[in-house]
Amino acid sequence: MVVNKFGGLKTGWLHPFILPNLVGLATGILKNPGSLLIPFIMWFNPTPFFFDYPLFAGWSQQDILAVYLKESYLNFFSIIATYIGFILTKIQPIKIKFYPPRQLKPKIIIVFVIALAIGFYLLQLQGGITESISNIGKGRFRALENLRHFTAIIGLTPYVFILWYLFRNKIIAKWYFWVMLLLSCTLQFIIIGSRGGTVFPLVVLTISWILINKKIPIIRIIALGLTILVLIGLLGEIRKSSWSTTDGRADFSALMEFNISESLQTAQEDIQSRPNSTLGIFGYVPNRVNHLWGETYVGVVTFFVPRFIWKDKPRGVGAYAGAMIWGGRDNAKNYTAASIPASAVAEAYWNFSFPGVFIAFFIFGSYLRWLANFFQKYSNYGLVKIFYIITIFSLNGPSSTSIVPYIQQVIFIILLGIILGVLRPFSKQKVSNLNYNSFR
């Protein structure tokens, strides 16, 4: 927003290094407005550094500090590698022909009906809404182990309506648009148990609105942020309720006893108390736990292989951390308990040490440069807009836990583009004969 160019690329608030950080900064302020004062408080009233990490109980202060410093150095190293990859990459975007969508409304409704049918089928398998949420509360991997391909369709359905809005801007004023969009968002929690999947499409829709209208609705963004925090707290209480009930079933009384301040506090506490394996990996690898040598990335390459065909297919880094870092196991084979997430830096280091961090983030930076070039060339097309926004927010690093769902999203967008007639791989019609403004 200040610099005219970065790495030879025109910048602005949509730059892949700027937009995610702007949203992250805004989210952080909404979660804790007092965080704006922390730098001043630390400057004028410095406090001793307090180490509080469960895996480091009994460790000396010097050893714990070494782990924190290791994390800081590797994070800085990953940023440098990303910038180098971004600046040095000269890959130009491929040439793609985009066409006006055909029969947009009926096709989108058909896609929604199919997704809804899949949703009802999955609910029937789980035994209903209450049983579905109860099972997910006890562990999403076990509840959805053999249903990943179906849940992927459910998870991507909301973006059909965002794409509809990008093609036909006035559709946002129609009541049936909001009914279908909000219903598809609700399915994210009922079937998949994902609070992020429930609220994230609304963030993408907001950014899409800003792209089209060239305005930033500050009041609406603040209201949306507060609504998201309330929903995260409320849905979190419902999802965790199965832990405390005697019959192990989800308790929906939180809906009847709804309190905004308590829901906001619950959301903040939940976000702050989430366990993370990043420091554990930096502290345990390689002295206590060996390097994985690419094992967590196998699932990325073989994401299309259903788990009922390959039962021992490697899982993401969170499952390995839960089994080997927190659980003390030698490997993650047959591990079905909770995944405890770790950063992309920690995963790259755990797999291939320091060179792995540089290679992973150099490739990541190179891809972001290609993405920025691609968006700059085709930014007028609705399909490209949603592809760019989803990439910026879904692919938050070269982590197996973000790469696999991102690949699924890209495949879904491509298939959706073909279904809607925006992409016609077998058409011989020339782009010059088409109305450029109708591609939106």
What are the tens digits of pLDDT across the range 106-129?
Answer: 999 999 999 899 888 888 877 777
φ, ψ (nearest 5 deg) of residue 426 = -110, 10
What are the tens digits of pLDDT across the range 10-33?
Answer: 657 778 888 788 777 776 666 666
Tokens of 62: 């010097």
Amino acid identity for residue 202 in this structure: L
Percent of the chain with pLDDT over 70: 75
Name the more confident of 218 and 380.
380
CA–CA gap between residue 155 and residue 185 (Å, rounded): 8
What are the tens digits of pLDDT across the range 303-343?
Answer: 878 777 887 888 889 999 999 999 889 888 888 777 889 99
Residues paired with 6 in a beta bridge: 9
CA–CA gap between residue 73 and residue 6 (Å, rounded): 24
What are the tens digits of pLDDT across the range 260-294?
Answer: 555 555 555 555 556 789 999 999 999 999 999 99
Q: What confidence score (pLDDT) does residue 214 get?
A: 78
Cα torsion angle, 28, 32, 37, 38, sign? negative
| In the chain, where the domains are located | 1-38, 63-92+277-440, 103-276
Q: What confidence score (pLDDT) does residue 436 get?
A: 40
Q: Do residues 250 and 137 lie in contact, with contact meaning Cβ atoms separated by under 8 Å? A: yes
CA–CA gap between residue 298 and residue 206 (Å, rounded): 35
Q: What confidence score (pLDDT) does residue 67 get?
A: 93
How far apart are the two ends of the chain, measured CA to CA in Å?
A: 25
Residue 246 has pLDDT above 80, yes or no: no
Query: Span 153-173, mean pLDDT?
Result: 90
Nearest to 254 by CA among 270, 231, 227, 274: 231
Name the more confident of 282 and 229.
282
Query: Span 202-215, mean pLDDT?
Result: 85
Tokens of 83: 């910038």
Q: Do residues 99 and 421 lie in contact, with contact meaning Cβ atoms separated by under 8 Å? A: yes
Query: Span 226-232, mean pLDDT?
Result: 73
CA–CA gap between residue 75 and residue 56 (Å, rounded): 20
Q: Do residues 355 and 300 lie in contact, with contact meaning Cβ atoms separated by under 8 Å? A: no
Name the more confident of 226 and 88.
88
Query: Span 387-405, mean pLDDT?
Result: 89
Rounded to the nearest integer, the mean pLDDT of the chain is 80
**Quick one: pLDDT band at residue 366, thresholds 50, 70, 90?**
very high
**Quick one: pLDDT band at residue 367, thresholds 50, 70, 90?**
very high
Residue 99 has pLDDT above 80, yes or no: yes
Kindly report which listed range (186-195, 227-236, 338-347, 372-381) carries the lowest average pLDDT score: 227-236
Length of the chain: 440
The pTM (predicted TM-score) of the whole model is 0.80
What are the tens digits of pLDDT across the range 32-90?
Answer: 666 667 677 667 766 665 567 888 888 888 899 999 999 999 999 999 999 999 999 88
Question: What region does 24 belong to: left with phi over 0, alpha with psi -120 to 50, or beta?
Answer: alpha
CB within 8 Å of 345: residues ≥ 6 apart: 71, 74, 75, 78, 278, 357, 361, 397
Place of tokens 């550094």: 49
Q: What confidence score (pLDDT) does residue 93 get?
A: 83
3-state secondary structure string across the chain:
CCCCEECCEECCCCCCCCHHHHHHHHHHHHHCHHHHHHHHHHHHCCCCCCCCCHHHCCCCHHHHHHHHHHHHHHHHHHHHHHHHHHHHCCCCCCCCCCCCCCCHHHHHHHHHHHHHHHHHHHHHHHCCHHHHHHHHHCCHHHHCCCCHHHHHHHHHCHHHHHHHHHHCHHHHHCHHHHHHHHHHHHHHHHHHCCHHHHHHHHHHHHHHHHHHHCCCCHHHHHHHHHHHHHHHHHHHHHHHHHHHCCCCCCCCHHHHCCCHHHHHHHHHHHHHHCCCCHHHHHHHCCCCCCCCCCHHHHHHHCCCCCCCCCCCCCCCHHHHHHHHHHCCCCCCCCCCCCCCCCCHHHHHHHHHHHHHHHHHHHHHHHHHHHHHHHHHHHCCCHHHHHHHHHHHHHCCCCCHHHHHHHHHHHHHHHHHHHHCCCCCCCCCCCHHHCCHHHHC
